[in-house]
Structure formats: structure tokens, C-alpha cells
Amino acid sequence: MPAVRFLRFLPLLILTLSFPTLCSPQSDADILVKFKQSVTHGNFSSWIPGPGVSPCRKKWVGVRCRGEDIVGLHLSDLHLSGTLDVHVLLQLRYLRSISLMRNSLTGPIPEFNKLGALKSLYLSHNQLRGEIPSEYFAPMRSLKKVWLNDNKFTGHIPESVMQLPRLSELHLEGNHFSGSIPPLKFPTVLTSLNLSLNHLEGRIPESLAKFGVGSFQGNEGLCGKPMANSCIKEAPPPVASTPSPSGRAKSNYNGRPMLVATTVFFLLCIVIAFLFSAIRRTKKDDGSGGKSREPVRDKMLPVQLPPESIHRRSVEKNRRSKSGSRRDSKSSVTKGGMADMVILNGEKGEFGMQDLMKASAEVLENGVLGFAYKATMVNGLTVVVKRLRGMNRLGKDEFAAEMRRFAALKHRNVLAPLAYHFRKEEKLIVSEYMPNGSLSYVLHGTRDVAHANLNWPTRFKIIKGIVRGLGCIHTEFGTCEVPHGNLKSSNVLLTENYEPLLSDYAYQTMANSKNVAQALFAYKSPEYLQYQQLSPKSDVYCLGIVILEIMTGKCPSQYQSNGQGRINIVQWVQTSISENRAQELIDPEIANNASSTDKMLKVLEIGAACVESNPDKRLHLNEVVTRIEEVS
């Protein structure tokens, strides 16, 4: 069996081994001249190659540079025709923008999708024709501006273009596109759209209705907002009909929205279930009149969440007002006792259960260890409430001691709780809400703006902060088997200034043993998976994953049990470094910061040394701290 496996990889091995000799490094001038030779009738009079010629310094026509790096090829109005050699451009590592407007290009769309890091593609006013494959744009995850207008393209609008996470400008007007308009996956990012003068038909997706009539005119068959004609009994709305009436290749499109839909449905179910149990409880209470119940019993917070709370709707008042006065008096009696909130840090203001109940709430997450939601109180303080699940290892006093220990962690990179609530069957931890959300959200989420702020200095600041915060946790919880235990990008919160704050640490001692292995990320370290062993170095492994995630911008497969659709970041990094291709690992978003490349490579190296699968060979956290501080 192993032999067979090896054979399967053999071709790959030969390819990688022989790669360096096959392709000796070419100068940028050589590359451009090769490209020039692939087109005919171009006026490239300034492109004169020679030994040591730098197209950037010589200011070759149409070559856009940042320093010595070629970042754009803008070759408009040059009467270009012929078959472009896109492949040769792959060697221009920093190329982000291509413009070939108003030339005489013919034939099908060239393979620009090989240039996965492109941010803009302008091909307007040529004679390009034929269908664009549905998946054409799928590899171009950084693409923001797509101008294909005034060509002769036919067939459907490729679905993949509508799914680009950063798509801000899409111009397809003046072609022969037909069929319905696929739905737009990231509608908030798109600012400029023109689909006029095609043969499109069917309902305009709701996500595009905000664009004016001017973006759709000259398509006889379109209907619905913003067009004047509404869609009368048009059988399948576009959302349902998108996966290809004409048998176009099935895309990965189905995966994500389904997931989102399932998640939303799942969340709704939970909330509704809570609501039902709440109503049942309220009825019981009303029926049994003065029966002495624990006063907080019917104040369980999630009970207060109506299904609409997902849309930030305030909690209804009338349910509370029924018996509000009775509770008010009781809670003031018990205030400060275990039945109410125990304030650990009053700097942000004090609050009790009543204030939390009056807060407007929004569900944030539902994980193995609990249910988190955001609550904005009447006094303006916004907090995150974690309702812990399966955390029954500690009794009341031990839990209180643990909470006080958390609160005493006064480190700028560690999130300390503001308050907690403890009963045998209900444990809440309240902490400050961070407006920028988690690192995971900012790195992989859909918020273009937030992501745009993640330049190299910010990323380095985040890495330094995480390392320092982890250092603090390792000092305070040094006696624990694994002091943090759950370090991953979704547990790193970001302040307004992108200062990182570690959260969800030191849960190992509190969580039921049944849950920990499933819930805590340290249990995904190689030593646990192989030998069921943990140590403080398991945290270092998790730290390494986060560092590599920040540097590459990729979402690691390690975070998911099935690892589907993600990158095994450890393997990728180790292979690339061993083949001297570390530079290719750097997220294209920051790679153009050439003056910092050395620092980036050093940080990548540190990250790689943290994910070493043998803990003995892995860096000690103290070494990581020293080495990261040395980089700056």
C-alpha cells in the first residue's frame, strides 16, 4: 500500500525536483519581451531589451511599477492583436493589474485566470468572443475590478464572477450575454455595475436592485426591481434557478450558501426552542403563583432572545413587565449574591441581570462550549455574554476563584472578564465587546473594509500582541497542563486599533472531560492526536497555526474536523520552505511591501518552527517571544 501511494506522488516529486533546472530565473525585461513577441501589431517602441535593463527604471511604455517591481501592465490603445502569452506573465510575482482596453484582441478570453493574484482586469473594447467558462474566475480570489464591456462575449454570465469576495466593479455591458443574472454573493462590496446592452432575461437578483435602471437597460427580457416591469408569474426565481439550467459545470457555489443557510436555520431552531421552553416556564410560574422558585430561574438570558434578535431587535418588553416588579425587588435583595451578576471589574460600569435582560441581543456563536451573544445595555455598554455548556468540573467557590484569577490578568493582550454568574445549571461569563470582531472574521470574513486595514504593520502588531498575551497566560497558568488550550484565530479579538486580545483561555480545568477534546484546539496538536499527550508546547503549536494564518491569509484546514476546502497550512508551509519558495507563502495582500520582505520571511520561519510536529523540536514559548521581539 505505501508503495502504491508513493508511486502516485512520484510524478509530482520528479516535477518539483526538476523545477529549478527547467526554468532558470529570467529578468523582468526578458519576460516582457517574451510577452511582447506573443502579440502582433503592438507599438512597443520603448521596449528595448538589453543586458541589465530594468523596465521599471527605463520607464517602458505601459509598465507600472512600485520600486523595481512590476505591478501593472497597462497596454491600452496599442492595436494589439494575436494570442497573448499569459503564461509567461506568471513569473511577474507582483503583477496585480492588467489593462488591454481598446485593442484588437480576438478569440476567446485569454487565460488571465492563471494569474491568481490579479486585482484588476480591463479588457474593454476588443473583439473577444465565445463563452466564458462558468468557473473561470474561481481562482482569482483577489479580483476587484472586472471590465469586459464592449466585446462579443456570448453565453451566460459566469457564476464565478458573481462570487468573488472583493468584487467592486463589474462591467459587462455591450456584449451578447444571455440567460439570467446569477446572484451576487458579496453585495455590499460591489459599487459599480453595468450589464446594459446584452440579451439577459429573468428576474434581477434582489442583491442588485440597488443599482439603477442604467445598469440593466437594453436587455429586453429583464424584469423586477429596478426595472419598471415586474415579473409576472415567472416560475423559478433566480436564486433557485442559478445552478445551471443548461447543464453548466456544477460549481463550488452550492457549498457555502447551503452552509450558511443551514447555520441560520440551526440557530433559529435553537432560539425557538429556548423561546418555547421560556413560554412553558412562564406558564408554570403563572400557574403556580407564589410557589417559591429560584428567582433567576426564569431569567435565563437566552430565553429572552426572540428569533428576530438575530436582526438586532430589542428584546420585547411586555413579557417582563408582567411580573417585572416582583423580580425587581427580589433581584435587588440578591444583588451581589450568587443569584445575580458578580462584578469582577467595574471600570466599564456595574450591571446586574436586569440590565442584561433589558439589553438588545444578537447571537454571535454557538459552539461545543456554549452559546455567545452580544448585548447592548441601556447605558450604552456593549458586552459579550457566554453561556457556558458542559463546564461543571468546578464547584461554586472554585469557579469564583478561577474567575478572580482571570480578572486579575491585567495585560493589554488578554481579555479579562467583567462579570460572571454562577449556578449549578447556568454559568455566564460577561466580557467587553470588541467592535472589530475576531481575527478570523477580519482575515477570512467578507468585510472588505476591515480586511483592507490588515496591512503588514498591522499584521505584525497582531502577531506580537498574541505572542505577548500568550506569554502572560503561560506565566499565570504555568502549572496547567496546557495553559491556554484553545488558541485559534476566532479566539483572538481585535480592538478598534487592531490590538489583539486573547479570549477563551484556561478552560481546560473547567470543562467536562467529555467535551474538552472536542472543543479545545490544543487537542488537535500532533502530540495529542498521536499519543494523547499535551503540554504547554501544544499552545505553541496553536500559536504557529495562527502566525502562519496571518502571514498567508489562508484559512487552515486544521480548524475543521473534515478540513474541506481549506489549506493544510502546516504541510504547505513546510514544503515551500524546504524548497526555498517561502516567499510565495506570503499573502499577496502584503507581499508588495518589498522593504519588509525580510521581516516577513523571519516571521514565517518562526511560525514554521512552532508547528514542528515533534514537540521536542518545537520552539519553547520563551524562544518565540524573544525571536518575535527581535524581528522588529
Residues in 150-179 at the binding interface with ligand NAG, rule: CB under 6 A: 173-174
Q: Which is nearer to ligand NAG, 169 or 365 (CB)?
A: 169
Q: Which is nearer to ligand NAG, 204 or 600 (CB)?
A: 204
Q: Which is nearer to ligand NAG, 169 or 623 (CB)?
A: 169
- Under 8 Å between Cβ of 436 and 494: yes
Shortest reach from residue 408's CB to ligand NAG, in Å: 59
Q: Which is nearer to ligand NAG, 55 or 544 (CB)?
A: 55
Shortest reach from residue 215's CB to ligand NAG, in Å: 5
Residue written as cell 436587455?
219
Shortest reach from residue 32's CB to ligand NAG, in Å: 16
Q: Which is nearer to ligand NAG, 189 or 197 (CB)?
A: 197
SS3 per-residue string spanning 179-200: ECCCCCCCCCCCCEEECCCCEE
Shortest reach from residue 385's CB to ligand NAG, in Å: 45
Check binding of 103 to ligand NAG (CB under 6 A).
no
Binding window for ligand NAG (CB under 6 A); candidates: 189-197, 364-372, 506-514, 571-579: 189-197
DSSP code, position 629: H
Q: Can you tell me the distance from the alpha carbon of 565 to that of 556, in angstroms, rounded to the nearest whole number? A: 9
SS3 per-residue string spanning 120-174: EEECCCCEEEEECCCCCCCCCCCCCEEECCCCEEECCCCHHHHHCCCCCEEECCC
Q: What are phi and psi of 524, to 5 degrees?
A: -100, 5
Check binding of 196 to ligand NAG (CB under 6 A).
yes
Interacting residue with ligand NAG among 126, 134, 194, 219 (CB under 6 A): 194
Q: Which is nearer to ligand NAG, 126 or 194 (CB)?
A: 194
For ligand NAG (CB under 6 A), the number of binding residues is: 10
Summary count for the chain: helices (H), strands (E): 18, 23
Q: Which is nearer to ligand NAG, 174 or 465 (CB)?
A: 174
Q: Can you tell me the distance from the alpha carbon of 167 to that of 537, in angstroms, rounded to the nearest whole number? A: 41
**Grid coordinates standing for 429?**
461569563
Shortest reach from residue 120's CB to ligand NAG, in Å: 17
- Of 83, 176, 198, 161, give the one whose Cα is nearest residue 131: 176
Check binding of 214 to ligand NAG (CB under 6 A).
yes
Q: Can you tell me the distance from the alpha carbon of 63 to that of 55, in angstroms, rounded to the nearest whole number? A: 7
Interacting residue with ligand NAG among 18, 37, 40, 43 (CB under 6 A): 43
- Of 612, 489, 497, give the one whose Cα is nearest residue 549: 489
Q: Which is nearer to ligand NAG, 42 or 202 (CB)?
A: 42
**Grid coordinates standing for 95?**
503583477
Partners of residue 367 on adjacent β-strands: 370
Binding window for ligand NAG (CB under 6 A); candidates: 69-77, 191-199, 448-456, 477-485: 191-199
Binding window for ligand NAG (CB under 6 A); candidates: 190-198, 272-280, 284-292, 355-363: 190-198
Check binding of 191 to ligand NAG (CB under 6 A).
no
Partners of residue 328 on adjacent β-strands: none
Shortest reach from residue 198's CB to ligand NAG, in Å: 10
Check binding of 45 to ligand NAG (CB under 6 A).
yes
Shortest reach from residue 60's CB to ligand NAG, in Å: 11
Shortest reach from residue 31's CB to ligand NAG, in Å: 21
**Grid coordinates standing for 210?**
440597488
**Grid coordinates standing for 77?**
490603445
Shortest reach from residue 572's CB to ligand NAG, in Å: 41
Residues in 356-395 at the binding interface with ligand NAG, rule: CB under 6 A: none
Shortest reach from residue 194's CB to ligand NAG, in Å: 4
- Under 8 Å between Cβ of 417 and 406: yes
Q: Which is nearer to ligand NAG, 20 or 214 (CB)?
A: 214
Q: Which is nearer to ligand NAG, 79 or 114 (CB)?
A: 79
Binding window for ligand NAG (CB under 6 A); candidates: 6-14, 194-202, 512-520, 566-574: 194-202
Q: Can you tell me the distance from the alpha carbon of 424 to that of 393, in angstroms, rounded to the nearest whole number? A: 10
- Of 88, 64, 67, give the one whose Cα is nearest residue 76: 64
Q: Which is nearer to ligand NAG, 48 or 333 (CB)?
A: 48
In DSSP notation, 206-268 reads GGGTTS-GGGTTT-TEEESTTSSS--TT-SS-HHHH-S-TT-PPP-GGGHHHHHHHHHHHHHH
Q: Which is nearer to ligand NAG, 127 or 379 (CB)?
A: 127
Check binding of 197 to ligand NAG (CB under 6 A).
yes
In DSSP notation, 505-552 reads -S-TTTS-HHHHHHH-GGGGSHHHHHH----HHHHHHHHHHHHHHHHH
Interacting residue with ligand NAG among 134, 215, 436, 491 (CB under 6 A): 215
- Of 520, 572, 516, give the one whose Cα is nearest residue 548: 572
Residues 6+ apart with CB under 8 A from 492: 438, 439, 440, 462, 466, 500, 501, 502, 503, 546
Check binding of 210 to ligand NAG (CB under 6 A).
no
Shortest reach from residue 46's CB to ligand NAG, in Å: 6
Q: Which is nearer to ligand NAG, 224 or 417 (CB)?
A: 224
By the criterion CB under 6 A, which residues form the site for ligand NAG?
43, 45, 61, 173-174, 194, 196-197, 214-215
